A and B are shown apart, each in its own frame.
Chain A
Amino acid sequence: DVKVTQSSRYLVKRTGEKVFLECVQDMDHENMFWYRQDPGLGLRLIYFSYDVKMKEKGDIPEGYSVSREKKERFSLILESASTNQTSMYLCASSLGGYNQPQHFGDGTRLSIL
């Protein structure tokens, strides 16, 4: 089974802090994704990566950056956390090509105080 592991289930940070959310997958997937999930808004794509050191903006990239130095690891970075970034963050991975299902991690519930 595909395993997508997010480093923290719950995280509390303060406004202005630099926050790192880590995601690791163990199935040699080419694609990795970061989503934000908010009640009533569904999942919105922040950034994705289709190869090592490659990244593309999703629908809501403002205030975020990403890093993919190794194929199995995809990091989401909040450069200066703000309260409106309090949310559930989901990481996913998939094989390259179309019709490949995305496999999700358990999510990180991030609170910015």
Chain B
Amino acid sequence: AQTVTQSQPEMSVQEAETVTLSCTYDTSENNYYLFWYKQPPSRQMILVIRQEAYKQQNATENRFSVNFQKAAKSFSLKISDSQLGDTAMYFCAFMKLRGYSTLTFGKGTMLLVSP
């Protein structure tokens, strides 16, 4: 079974600064996908970014980028130029490429961006 660990229950950052959220996972799979989802307060969960394990290049989506270290089983999310609208719960998730396409989520990191 896969496990996903987010060791930071809460983080805070000031506007315009950069913040990194950590995620580690445990799996015996060689091929898989990793995701970061964002859940703003009282709003819908949305996909932020995804990474295929077989790709060495780190994924980037505008101000969001990942640092994927396959050997270390680490998948951190970097948010540059933080904005107030980035305040949200962030979930790291894992999907193996065998069987059903289900996600295993971490427990989440609450990020607060302050002015």
Q: Which of A31, A58, A90, A104 is B101 in contact with, Cβ under 8 Å?
A: A31
* Main secondary structure on B side of the interface with A: loop
- Kindly identify, within residues 96 to 115 of chain B, every residue whose CB is under 8 Å from any CB belonging to chain A: 97, 100-103, 105-108
Contact A42 B100 (CB under 8 A): no
Contact B101 A97 (CB under 8 A): yes
Contact B45 A104 (CB under 8 A): yes
Tell me if A41 counts as interface (CB < 8 A to partner B).
Answer: yes
A37 to B105, CA, bound (A): 10
The interface residues of chain A lying within 8 Å CB-to-CB of B35 are 101
Contact A48 B9 (CB under 8 A): no
The interface residues of chain B lying within 8 Å CB-to-CB of A96 are 101
Residue of B nearest to A101 (CB): B47
Q: Among A90, A92, A99, find the residue whose CB has the most chain B CB atoms closer than 10 A.
A: A99
Residue of A nearest to B96 (CB): A98
The interface residues of chain B lying within 8 Å CB-to-CB of A92 are 45
